[in-house]
Structure 1
């Protein structure tokens, strides 16, 4: 039975948007994105060619027999291959594999050219660095509207240590321990390798999400969502930027970038250049500057009680961490390209 306090909470809740999904597919997609999922790359091979798609529609189905399912867009270039394959592999991405997710979501012709992989038991590519891999035989296929649902019988699996990559509300993230969840004893945490480093990175993500959530009322006051605000800021800072680059810089999914761009265009805040780039209109620039002013005031208020010396140490530490990470990624890319 619902308590009176629960009923009061429900009465106070005001939806950000409401409607029939048939009338607004973008709204439907935004609402679905409230449910966080993992990210997987499904692969297959016909003996001469390899195929892959990035999905977040993966789900377990049955333990006995061991079945899983996922779905593929009928407009996908790999649809024909997966609609007739006898086997496929599901590669579950780790938190370090955002770029791999983007790579397999791109329009690159040979997606396996610069990727570390090995053929699986049935020939489907198994990607390195994943936290789990499932090799499946195609058990059944079902109609799912503009998608086809594939059910796979797991023939072999592998599980690795690591943190999963999460996709929720249009952006990549990592799973964080809920503050209300019972924590493990300190002695057990101390025994874990790299416990200190893991806690530091977790605190950085906690701070990022907490501040972003706290700033949400300011974004709403300007009539934008977090995704639209990120795209707005990126195009403002890089006039002429292309959509693919926007996705990389904002850590948003490609579809979410497309939705944000469509919304900004519809409000005459953004326009496309002749070479396919994007720039803000005067109204778009004004909106971005208004959000920027709100952010500065918000930041000053948040840091007001923290000593300036502590802020300086934090800034130096974060700057060093960013520079180190960029250098390592650049070096890795150079080796792969060579």
Structure 2
């Protein structure tokens, strides 16, 4: 690799590509204790005849040897409400299947319930891929539903929305008479407003020399005394390995710092002075963008909007959420 090739920027470039989210499962034997599963967005189709798909796995994965030796695997394409399941299989835990009821498929692989689609595969080829191996599977059996899939973009989950130029072009199957309802539909309006806010702010984040995922870490640590890596992964809804990698880089750049905590000297991650300066600058930019977007709203309208959004987010005082 060239010394001028920046892995951080390369990863940031790859993050611009939205993907679906899958969980791939396999087994080392008939005992459920031998089941393994990982969250992966490296899934893709290969061939229709014969039916084949591929995905890749990092060599440092705990389940690496099991997948290499397994004769079969199953790919589960997750639904939009399965973020929790995705997070579970993205983390390093002893029993990812605890509490789950799974059927078994081809080769005895565990099958997860309620996914958008499930593809049971025979491992046909395994190829070298740098720090990953690429698994190509022949699809033996499949099932699918009309559920909405989960999307992943720039290190976070996203919602799948129809492009507005298609919604009223007649190609979406909707009637023009439906347009007034959809224009006032809460989900569509909140999503469009969020995308408008996020698009402008993420440009500011990159101009400040940060990745969007690094900003999320800074925001999660704001105003506190620090968090463990596990707590930070939960707060940012990211994989622990991704958080650890980002924290290492941010500590190296002086944005974050580690502090010993407790008798076992387990380190907590906190914002360093340089990181606090970036956080303050970006918070001011976010406030300025908000003011610009809401400049035509009266103060009472702003307060009503914030109050409604807090209730929807479960953050209103007295909320039962």
TM tier relative to shorter chain: 0.7 to 0.9
- C-alpha spacing 1:94/1:86, structure 2 compared with 1 (3 Å): same
- C-alpha spacing 1:104/1:288, structure 2 compared with 1 (3 Å): same
Deviations 1:21-60 (A, max 9, x none): 8743222222222222111110012212101111111111
Tell me which residue corresponds to 2:263.
none
Tell me which residue corresponds to 1:33.
15
Deviations 1:283-307 (A, max 9, x none): 2223212222222222122111123
Compute the RMSD of aligned alpha carbons: 3.0
Tell me which residue corresponds to 2:30.
47
Among 239, 245, 257, the residue aligned to 2:231: 245
Measured in 1, the distance between the counterparts of 2:271 and 2:61 equals 31
Is 1:317 the equivalent of 2:308?
A: yes
Q: Report how far residue 67 of structure 1 moved.
A: 0.7
- C-alpha spacing 1:97/1:189, structure 2 compared with 1 (3 Å): farther
Q: Secondary structure at the match of 2:126?
A: strand
- C-alpha spacing 1:158/1:217, structure 2 compared with 1 (3 Å): closer
Unaligned runs of 5+ in 1: 1-18, 331-338
Tell me which residue corresponds to 1:167.
152
Runs of 4+, deviation exceeding 6 Å: 195-198, 327-330
**Contact map agreement 1:172 1:252 (CA 8 A) in 2:** no
Unaligned runs of 5+ in 2: 261-265
Deviations 1:56-100 (A, max 9, x none): 111111111111111111221111111111111101111111121
- C-alpha spacing 1:249/1:218, structure 2 compared with 1 (3 Å): same
Measured in 2, the distance between the counterparts of 1:74 and 1:328 equals 45
**Contact map agreement 1:70 1:150 (CA 8 A) in 2:** yes
Q: Report how far residue 229 of structure 1 moved.
A: 1.6
Q: How many residues in Structure 1 have an aligned counterpart in Structure 2?
A: 307
> TM-score, with normalisation over the residues of structure 2?
0.85
Q: Secondary structure at the match of 1:277?
A: strand
Among 284, 292, 295, the residue aligned to 1:304: 295
